[in-house]
Amino acid sequence: MVTISCNSANVKEGLKKIDFSKAPLKDVDFREIPKESKFVPLRLPDSVYLGKIETIRFTDKYMVLHDRELAKALYVFDHEGNYIGRLKRHGEAEGEYLSLYAFAVSGGNVYVYDRRLGNIVKYTFPEFDLVSSQSMNIYLTEMVGTGKGFMGISDDFEEEGYYYGQLFYDEDFQLISNIKKRPGIIEATESTGFSTDDTGELYYSEPLSEMVYKMDGKILKEQYLIDFGSHGIPTEVAEFSDAEDFYELLSEGHYFFAAHNFNRTGSIVSVNFYNQDIEPQLQGLYDFKTEKGMIIKDLGEVTDYVIAPISVQQGYNIALLYPDEYSRETLRLLGMKEENLDSIDISKPVIYKYRYVKMPS
């Protein structure tokens, strides 16, 4: 059991608090924040187009881009941006799927969750040769490889008032255990709740409880508690299964909620969360050295590109710049050196990786 309170004296021993309770709300010029930046042009063949990418995950050698809705495909690139291949097999025949709702890469294979058919389809990675398909008796909304198996998020009811919640599977996708959770927590969990640091450690940001866990073997270990003070959302919201109840509560106060995209570089933490509604997002920065934070609502001309990254992977916030939605001036504002600007083909997408190394003055 985890007890969460607005009283900082009740924070459990060994649990680090990220305190935004008195953090000022600011507009900051993105160029003035000390950071490390990298640009990775994606070298797509002319015959391949990216759809709506909502998740990007890294392996040791590859980047995997997930389009859940439009193309229902996975796109694979190496870390230099070279195109490796694509998984796009729609249908009900062997080796096909009707929906590519979630995916995980583990042990030289990629696992695709087809929510419509209730299957896990296993392919070799990155060749995408079919290995096997198996039925699942519990619905999932998200899943991720843990290095020793898999973690899934389920919105199936286990008992009255609780979902199956957080599930843990072995390497053969056999269920080991689960931690049942109230509906609100699971309904608010997104792919951006999972992040990895520069050592490959996996973190899970649990919305509404605002707890950040580290995956330790096959369990979740509490690491950080994000404290929004008087703007923290009431704990009763975790019990909601009806969206109308949730939005009615939001209309009654000014709340920050559902922390995600957790990232830490040295003493600096960056994290996203929602402000009163699911749009717009805010970005919080916190320095463990000074024990001070700030909440950013605007980052200047590049706000739309960087205020809400697609993912946090290997210690970097990841943004995706689509063709026709950025220019060389955009790249300049993001910090690309002048001598590199002309080498970029702006008709192709670019991955922008950044992490903050110091608080802005």
pLDDT at residue number 11: 58
Q: What is the pLDDT of residues 64-113, one digit of tens each?
A: 999 999 999 999 999 999 999 999 999 999 999 999 999 999 999 999 99
Q: Which pLDDT does position 3 carry in this prediction?
A: 39
User: Per the structure block, which two tokens stand in for 21?
Assistant: 């309770």
Surface-to-core class of residue 112, CB atoms within 10 Å of its CB (0-12 exposed, 13-18 middle, 19+ buried):
buried
Nearest to 235 by CA among 293, 169, 184, 168: 184
Task: State residue 8 phi and psi, 5-degree precision.
Answer: -60, -20
pLDDT of residue 97: 97
Which pLDDT belongs to residue 10?
52
Q: Are 108 and 127 in contact (CB under 8 A)?
A: no
Coil, helix or strand for 273? strand
- Please report the pLDDT score of residue 229 as a whole number: 96
pTM of the predicted structure, to 2 decimals? 0.93
pLDDT at 204: 98
pLDDT digits (tens, 9 = 90+) for 117-140: 999 999 999 999 999 999 999 999
Confidence check: pLDDT of 17 > 50: yes
Separation of alpha carbons 355 and 124, rounded Å: 32
Q: pLDDT, tens digit, for every residue of 289-343?
A: 999 999 999 999 999 999 999 999 999 999 999 999 999 999 999 999 999 999 9
Q: Are 312 and 196 in contact (CB under 8 A)?
A: yes
CA-based nearest residue to 121, from 153, 92, 142? 92
At residue 273, the pLDDT reads 97
Rounded average pLDDT over 3-29: 76
Find all residues with CB under 8 Å of 206, minimum gap 6, and list them: 185, 189, 193, 212, 213
> Residue 264 is inside which H or E element, if any?
strand 256-265
User: DSSP alpha helices (H): ranges in the chain?
Assistant: 183-188, 243-250, 303-306, 328-334, 338-341
Q: How far apart are CA 177 and CA 149, in angstroms?
A: 12
Count Cβ atoms below 10 Å from residue 158 Cβ, excluding itself.
Answer: 14
Q: Which SS3 state, helix, strand or coil, does residue 72 take?
A: coil
Specify burial of residue 245 (Cβ count, 10 A radius: 0-12, 13-18, 19+): middle
> Which strands sit side by side in the sheet containing 219-227, from one edge to the other?
16-19, 219-227, 211-216, 202-206, 194-196, 311-313, 316-321, 350-356, 35-41
Nearest Cα to Cα of residue 274 among 320, 213, 232, 225:
232
Give residue-wise pLDDT tens across range 175-218: 999 999 999 999 999 999 999 999 999 999 999 999 999 998 77
The DSSP output letter for 43 is B
pLDDT at 252 over 90: no
Instruction: Say how far apart CA 224 and CA 293 lie, in whole Å.
Output: 14
How much of the chain exceeds pLDDT 90, in percent? 86
Classify residue 12 as left (phi > 0), alpha (psi -120 to 50) or beta. Answer: beta
Go through the chain and tell me how many residues it has.
361
Residue 353, classed as helix, strand or coil, is: strand
